[in-house]
A = this chain, B = another copy of it.
Amino acid sequence: MNEIETEIETGTQTQAEVSLVVQQLTEAEGEAQAEVFSDILEEAEPGTISILLESLPLDERYDRWQQVAIEARAEVLSLMRADPRLGILKKMPSEEIDLLFSQLSPEDLIDWSDSLPDSMIDRALAQMGERQRRHFELYNQYGENEIGRYADHQMLVLGHLSSVAQGQRFFRRIDLDCNDHLFLVDEEDKYLGTVRRHDLFKQDPDTLLESLIWEDGRSIAADSSLIEAAEAVEHSRELEFPVVDAEGVLIGRVTLRTATALVREHYEAQLMATAGMDEDDDLFAPIMIGARRRAVWLGINLLTAFLASATIGLFENVLSQVVALAVLMPIVASMGGIAGSQSLTLMIRGMAMGQISAGNVMSLLKNELGIGAVNGILWSITVGIVAGWWFNDGVMGVIIGSAILINMAVAAMAGVIIPMVLQKFNQDAALSGSVILTTVTDVVGFFTFLGLATILYL
């Protein structure tokens, strides 16, 4: 039992273990930190080392990076986000960079190249052999959102005239992750079909593999989008799918492991996008770079805020006479914003599943309007009573109640319609949906509230 217990403790670190070493490392400073890190380096996996480096401020990060063994560096950097990786590369002396590039696989370079300046890519290619360079060119034909770019070329491939014995030998000799298929190709490397590992058992060794091609075997087109390819693998019962180019040539495979990573990146990108940020962003971005990236989103938001202000500006007259309006108006805008974001979130999820279409959008609108009306009535009465009592003014209660009811109904509609329109124009509703929605609910909220007040008070 003793043996087993130690086994359980080594290997891939869990998140709790990672947190612990992050704490140990970040709490130490200078020399002490160097010592802690060299202890960690002895046991930690490359993935943990990259997480650790990312959790350090830039100067400490580079000091610790220099402790990482030369032969581990390519893998550690590959497992980092693009921004921190580029930050380290920019500081490295040029001989070290060349050494690093000489350890890089074509797949790694493809991953890196999305964020690498062209001059660096050329330097990396210069360090590669002719065959690797051709591999890079093959993947590099595909765009950043096409699965062909990230296809894995470590797979079991045999000519269609191969025998069961050859297939069995392959599985015995080669120990790949996520490997339960053999792919058959013709003389021109065109994909002919998949043979399942399990179907090789109990066969005569001389049987041709061609006769065992699996009827349900499918391939993925190299120009499929990343998330589409990932979901095909995820929702299958297979561990790997062949990736095939426009001519039918087998160029690689996508595994369930890759699919999981792609799904995770997809969601991370979506979560970061809700704040106008990027999945590659560094926890410790250099201040000027971080500020510049975020400035764009702040600028867009400022334009919408000015729009809301301009709406309020239309009603200076009534505002100057009834100051309570200024006090209460944020409530109207805010209730609409929250209600709208609830509809929007439901829509975005439904669209991600392919569940929304022209055929059911009217029913959805009706349903969301119904929910908006129920909550609108509930909260407009509540706020109306509170506001009326607060300012001892029944008319004020009626005005704010009506404005909230109207704004929440508009919010429900906007939450359904905005993502549909964005989708029509191929825009990502997760990125821009909430800014547009808030603009609508702010403008409508201020306009109805102050407009009603103008009618009833002036």
Which A positions have Cβ atoms within 8 angstroms of B?
3-4, 7-8, 10-12, 14-16, 18-19, 22-28, 47, 51, 54-57, 172, 175, 177-178, 191-193, 198, 201-202, 213, 215-219, 224, 227-228, 231-232, 234-237, 239, 256-257, 259-261, 263-264, 267-268, 270-272, 274-277, 281, 283-285, 287-288, 290-291, 294-295, 297-299, 301-302, 304-306, 308-309, 312-313, 316, 319-320, 323-331, 333-335, 338-339, 341-342, 344-346, 348-350, 353-360, 363-364, 367, 370-371, 374-375, 378-379, 382-383, 386, 442
Q: Which label, helix, strand, loop or mixed, suits the secondary structure of the A interface?
A: helix
In angstroms, Cα B299 to Cα A378, docked, is 10
Q: Are A275 and B23 in contact (CB under 8 A)?
A: no
Measured CB to CB, the closest approach of chain B to A20, in angstroms, equals 8
Given A27-B359, A309-B331, 15 more A-B residue pairs with CB atoms under 8 Å apart are A12-B236, A19-B354, A22-B360, A55-B350, A256-B260, A275-B344, A275-B345, A277-B342, A290-B367, A291-B371, A294-B339, A305-B334, A305-B335, A319-B326, A330-B333
Which B residues touch A331, using CB under 8 A?
302, 305-306, 308-309
What are 19 A-B interface contacts by the 8 Å CB criterion?
Answer: A3-B213, A4-B191, A15-B354, A26-B360, A47-B235, A51-B355, A57-B367, A175-B198, A237-B257, A259-B260, A275-B342, A283-B364, A287-B367, A290-B371, A297-B342, A298-B335, A298-B375, A316-B327, A330-B333
CB contact between A257 and one of B256, B277, B349 (< 8 Å): that residue = B256
Q: Are A357 and B23 in contact (CB under 8 A)?
A: yes
Which B residues touch A342, using CB under 8 A?
275-277, 294, 297
Q: Are B288 and A374 in contact (CB under 8 A)?
A: yes
Q: Are A193 and B267 in contact (CB under 8 A)?
A: no
Which B residues touch A290, using CB under 8 A?
367, 370-371
Which B residues touch A11, using CB under 8 A?
216, 218, 236
In angstroms, Cα B320 to Cα A25, docked, is 56
In angstroms, Cα B357 to Cα A19, docked, is 7
Contacts A275-B342, A334-B301, A342-B276 given; indicate if A355 touches B283 (C-beta within 8 A).
yes
Contacts A259-B260, A327-B316 given; indicate if A298 touches B371 (C-beta within 8 A).
no
CB contact between A177 and one of B55, B201, B237, B284 (< 8 Å): that residue = B237
In angstroms, Cα B375 to Cα A271, docked, is 22
CB contact between A378 and one of B295, B309, B325 (< 8 Å): that residue = B295
